[in-house]
Structure 1
Amino acid sequence: MEKIFSALVVREQEAGKFTRSLEQVKMEDLPDGEVLIKVHYSSLNYKDGLSAVGNKGVTRNYPHTPGIDAAGTVAYSSVPEFSKGEEVIVTGFDLGMNTNGGYGEYIRVPSAWVIPLPKGLTLKESMIFGTAGLTAGLCTEALIAHGITPSKGPVLVSGGSGGVGSLSVAILSKLGYEVIAVTGKKKAHEILKSLGVGKIISREEAVDSSGKPLLRPIYAGAIDTVGGSILTTAMKSLKYGGSIACCGLVSSPKIDLTVFPFILKGNNLLGIDSVECEIQKRIDVWNKLAGPWKPDQLSKITETCNLDQLSDKIQQILKGELMGRTVVSLY
């Protein structure tokens, strides 16, 4: 087994200034944990970008290796639940935040963070999903649990060209929902339509500035990845009994609502967390993503890079220039 391996390392040079580069890292510098994993693939998420530029709200201490997602094979396990050579995935918890993450060729983590690769997925496909796919799956599951079926009407997906948004669109379309997607990127229209979107609206069209507490009911449900005024408008535009699964705040963490959607129309705002979500729920959703919910068009929303190319991709995701999912190959 290698004692030294390659990893993207972010270093704090002085207050407020950070650098990132490929370095050779010692195995002994990895944190404690029951399972050592040789990483084959990771993925790029907005949170990874924040960690890579020194955002202390994501990562407190540097030097650090980001990567909140990882898929690979077990190199060593001190617990019987996992055996050497087994294919596994790790998403969320503290991986890539304050624990060295998937942008290194090895990670060592607590066994409670690890799940076996579901049948029906390759390691690479699992990272096309990654945290974004798990989040999209949790959102979909929450809507279904609250009675939002395809027959109830259209479902709005905000941030449609992003990771969670594009995977939500693909999953909902696979399940027969009429999907309305919000995006500010005209170049994303063709891809979204190929994923099954019935209608695309601009960010401006998705925002109502009238100040009315309730609007014309349009949506049976929604998956919101951005927060702010788009979430506020969607909540006011739900049909009776409608629900929104809320999982993001890239636009704003604030919403401006009265209680009217809740007490007059029985609407629900469902908070979705994919970081500390308990293991059995993760496994259930992963099995659905690997089976009946698996979209046929994953390749259409995916690009692949290696560690050498990753730094440029990090800049692009922070500028909002990427669409869909970026898989990082370490194998």
Structure 2
Amino acid sequence: MSEETFRAFYVEEKFKGEFSSSIEEVPFSFLPDHEVLIKVHFSSLNYKDALSASGNKGVTRSYPHIPGIDASGVVIEDASGTFKEGQKVVVTGRDLGSNTSGGYGELIRVPKDWVVELPSGLELETAMKYGTAGFTAMYGVKRLQREVILPEDGKILVTGATGGVGSLAIFFLSELGYKVVAATGKLDKKEFLKELGAEEVIHRDEITNVTESFLLSREWNGAIETVGGNMLDAVIRQTNHDGAVACCGNILGHELNTNIYPFILRGVSLLGIDSAICKMPMRLKIWESIAARNHDKLPGNFAKIVELENLQPEIDATLKGEQSGRVIVQHQTS
């Protein structure tokens, strides 16, 4: 008797260093041996997914592999007894889609500690409008709030503003009453960023084309910095006294070359955001905060839905830095 299969976006290493993707019927035995089996209705596309899908072994160690670091769906079975059959759930981060078969498959099997019950106020599709990007953005907001960065204190900068994390950070901060400055290299997206809630949109070069002075003029009270490299250094040096910078990306580089003076003369705090390995109490608070937002305020063109057959062009666009907003992956079974 032939083994049952499920449909998935399947990435293989055909030859050493050469990768290809296809839509395949994958045997159940491909799934890891964990407690919770979930029927995936939606996933989303993140930069990390695009790297995994293109064979980046810094993200995914071995192939064949099914990417997708986000998933929302319905529990089929749970050997631990924690979740009930039919319960709506969300899984983001941890190792999903990196080295564990991910949300671009119709099924995932994950440890019970990775699973969050879908919060009241969210639908499965809406949850994936946010996904890891929204989770990371809200985590950054909460870190700023922990440093008592208040809306009345001054402007908040968001870099990489048209990306998933950046765009949702703008939306969340604006919803919470903050004055947001959006920095981007895509000024043609200015109206899109203002729809999300940015009060001001500037070109990213205005931040980075500065002198090498230890301290620069104070431009904002806090920042969610999503790209790293020389941008992070420049943002730190332009942050106000007692301000804070939450950082979560490294597209412009993983090294930080800066100096001590913003920290010891202005009391600036540098806050790291690790959304993948976030402890469950904070994870639940973040999802509750996301669920409490007014989802209807998101621009109508903020997210587009694609099926597996149309996913590869979106991955290519993501790797080229041509995406804005969010891409939701819908399975035919949903």
Moved over 4 A (4+): 292-295
**Cα distance in 1, alignment partners of residues 57 and 166 from structure 2:** 26
**Cα distance in 2, alignment partners of residues 35 and 109 from structure 1:** 5
Q: Which residue matches 2:156?
A: 155
TM-score (normalizing by structure 2): 0.97
TM-score (normalizing by structure 1): 0.97
**Cα distance in 2, alignment partners of residues 86 and 136 from structure 1:** 26
**AA of the residue aligned to 1:312:** P
Deviation at 1:295, TM superposition (A): 6.7
Deviation at 1:218, TM superposition (A): 1.2
Q: Which residue matches 1:97?
A: 98
Q: Which residue matches 2:144?
A: 143
Structure 1 stretch displaced more, 208-217 or 144-153: 208-217
Deviation at 1:280, TM superposition (A): 1.4
Deviation at 1:290, TM superposition (A): 0.2
Q: Which residue matches 2:291?
A: 290
Deviation at 1:293, TM superposition (A): 7.0
**AA of the residue aligned to 1:102:** G
Q: Tell me, what secondary structure is at the counterpart of 1:217? A: coil
Say how many residue pairs are matched: 330
Q: Closer, same or farther in 2 for the Cα pair 1:90/1:276, shift >3 Å?
A: same
Question: Structure 2 matches for 1:299-310, cutoff 5 A?
Answer: 299-310=300-311
Q: Tell me, what secondary structure is at the counterpart of 1:190? A: helix
Q: Which residue matches 1:40?
A: 41
**AA of the residue aligned to 2:192:** I
Q: Which residue matches 2:70?
A: 69
**Cα distance in 1, alignment partners of residues 11 and 221 from structure 2:** 44
**Cα distance in 2, alignment partners of residues 281 and 150 from structure 1:** 22
**AA of the residue aligned to 1:301:** F
Q: Tell me, what secondary structure is at the counterpart of 2:204? A: coil
Q: Which residue matches 1:195?
A: 196
Q: Tell me, what secondary structure is at the counterpart of 1:156? A: strand
**Cα distance in 1, alignment partners of residues 229 and 207 from structure 2:** 11
Residues 1:10 and 2:6 aligned together: no
Deviation at 1:159, TM superposition (A): 0.3
Contact 2:195 2:299 in 1 (8 A): no
Q: Which residue matches 2:325?
A: 324
Contact 1:166 1:301 in 2 (8 A): no
For the aligned residue pairs, the C-alpha RMSD in angstroms reads: 1.2
Q: Which residue matches 1:123?
A: 124
Q: Which residue matches 1:233?
A: 234
Deviation at 1:281, TM superposition (A): 0.7
**Cα distance in 2, alignment partners of residues 208 and 309 from structure 1:** 39
**AA of the residue aligned to 1:319:** K
Q: Deviations over 1:29-53 (max 9, x none)?
A: 2111100000000000000000001
Contact 2:172 2:293 in 1 (8 A): no
Contact 1:179 1:197 in 2 (8 A): yes
Q: Deviations over 1:283-309 (max 9, x none)?
A: 111001001475721544211111010
Structure 1 stretch displaced more, 288-297 or 58-67: 288-297
Q: Tell me, what secondary structure is at the counterpart of 1:213? A: coil
**Cα distance in 2, alignment partners of residues 294 and 282 from structure 1:** 19
Q: Which residue matches 2:220?
A: 219
Residues 1:168 and 2:164 aligned together: no
Contact 2:119 2:291 in 1 (8 A): yes
Deviation at 1:279, TM superposition (A): 1.2
Q: Which residue matches 1:209?
A: 210
Q: Tell me, what secondary structure is at the counterpart of 2:207? A: coil
**Cα distance in 2, alignment partners of residues 11 and 190 from structure 1:** 40
**Cα distance in 2, alignment partners of residues 171 and 298 from structure 1:** 13
**Cα distance in 1, alignment partners of residues 171 and 210 from structure 2:** 30
Structure 2 residue runs without a partner (length 5+) = none
Q: Percent identical across equivalent pairs?
A: 46
**Cα distance in 2, alignment partners of residues 29 and 227 from structure 1:** 36
**AA of the residue aligned to 2:54:** V
Deviation at 1:256, TM superposition (A): 2.1
Deviation at 1:224, TM superposition (A): 0.3
Q: Which residue matches 1:267?
A: 268
Q: Closer, same or farther in 2 for the Cα pair 1:293/1:271, shift >3 Å?
A: farther
Q: Tell me, what secondary structure is at the counterpart of 2:309? A: helix
**Cα distance in 2, alignment partners of residues 154 and 133 from structure 1:** 21
Q: Which residue matches 1:82?
A: 83
**Cα distance in 2, alignment partners of residues 298 and 105 from structure 1:** 28
